[in-house]
Amino acid sequence: MSKNTGIVKDRRYLRHGSEFTHPETPQRLVSIYEMLDNPDMAWKFTGIDARHATREELERVHRSSYIDFIAQTAGKAMTMLDPDTVATAETYDTARLAAGGVMNAIDSVVSGETDNAFALVRPPGHHAQAAEAAGFCIFNNIAIGARHALSRWGMERILIVDWDLHHGNGTAETFYEDRQVLYFSTHQSPGYPGTGGLAETGRGPGLGYTINVPLRPGADDAFYVRVFRELLRPVAREFRPEIILVSAGFDIYIGDPLGEMKVTPEGFACLTRILLNLADECCNGRMVIVLEGGYNIQGLTRSVRAVLLELLGETRVTEETLSRMAADTDETCDRLIGRVREKISPFWPVF
């Protein structure tokens, strides 16, 4: 059955960082937007407008002094925020649009205007902490979106799945003591930013609601599918989220210059299908995907297209395909899954 899939797409997202060479280039979205403008794709999606996040919305995640600091970069040619992260003249405006676009995508799905949505925004967000820009990220789009869903829609259980190459330390920190948001991250380890160890499982009331799956370089489609099916799926079914939010980093693509993972466009479709099935089971299909990393532009575009076709229901990975793929792993995967289960089983008796 085909779905009504919403897209946040706005050329103002191209304004941030257009003046210098950087992996997180506007060309990432230019290529995706060109793919979406093709006659075979253009008519398939429902447009969702971008908007600027308000000060109050930003302050649900970020300190007021930090927002002021980013605001002061407006109009300045270049401000180094950290060794990897630069603000240019339009960055403050664009980063507010990114967070606002994610919130509009959530509103569209929760209100029933769309079945699911993909916010194709930049700059990315999952490394941004309460008072710190990092890893190309300015404001934490997905964390702001989650807090918006809790506040505006009165939600009590939100699942954030982060499949980016890098651990979303900003998102993890935001919800580390919060049992309303379950954060599940797969990421290359060792690697930037150095967080996301197995022992990091939350604190206080949030204990058990952070699940980290650190992966050695070289994890492929089968490895990821098995981790999602055998670790994420049983916990998500127990948690029963009211919406699933996805930090979708495409830097786990097999040819990404910043990573050493081996996920193909077909693999991204498989992960999307696993999450869609969970969303259908738990929350009336409500799922919003948010663009994070991904720096091989051709691979990024092909992979985003594969995800979109799965969201639409034009392609549909079967359970048989997923089972066959999951069987194609070795004892390295067995050991990792065993270690993660051991760590989280005190909180999740499904194992």
Quick: pLDDT tens for 272-295.
Answer: 999 999 999 999 999 999 999 999
Whether 83 shows a pLDDT value over 90: the answer reads yes
E strand or H helix at 297, and its extent?
A: helix 297-312
Amino acid at position 135, single letter: G
Tell me if 15 sits within 8 A of 327, measured CB to CB.
no
Q: What is the pLDDT of residues 56-65, one digit of tens each?
A: 999 999 999 9
Q: List the domains of the chain with CATH numbers.
A: 5-344 (3.40.800.20)
Distance CA 36, CA 33 (A): 5
What sign does the CA torsion over 251, 140, 6, 228 have?
A: positive
Question: Average per-residue pLDDT in the chain?
Answer: 97
Q: How far apart are CA 140 and CA 164, in angstroms?
A: 14
Task: Return the pLDDT at 263.
Answer: 98
pLDDT recorded at residue 20: 75
Percent of the chain with pLDDT over 70: 100
Burial class (CB in 10 A: 0-12, 13-18, 19+), 51: middle
Q: Which of 52, 62, 126, 127 is catalytic?
A: 127
- What is the value of pTM for the model shown? 0.98
pLDDT digits (tens, 9 = 90+) for 292-316: 999 999 999 999 999 999 999 999 9
Helix (H/G/I), strand (E/B), else coil: 182:
strand
pLDDT higher than threshold 80 for residue 19: no
Mean pLDDT over 133-149 rounds to 98
Provide the 8-state DSSP code for 228: I
pLDDT in tens, 208-249: 999 999 999 999 999 999 999 999 999 999 999 999 999 999
Predicted pLDDT of residue 296: 98
Catalytic annotation on 127?
yes
Q: Which token pair is 108?
A: 């569209």
In this prediction, residue 15 carries a pLDDT of 96
| Residue 38, pLDDT score | 95
Burial class (CB in 10 A: 0-12, 13-18, 19+), 218: exposed
The predicted-structure confidence for 151-162, as pLDDT tens digits, reads as follows 999 999 999 999
**pLDDT at res. 344:** 97
How far apart CA 82 and CA 106 sit, in angstroms, is: 30
b/e per residue 324-345 (b: at least 16 CB within 10 A) = ebbeebeeebeebbeebeebbe
Q: Report whether 84 contacts 135 (CB < 8 A).
A: yes
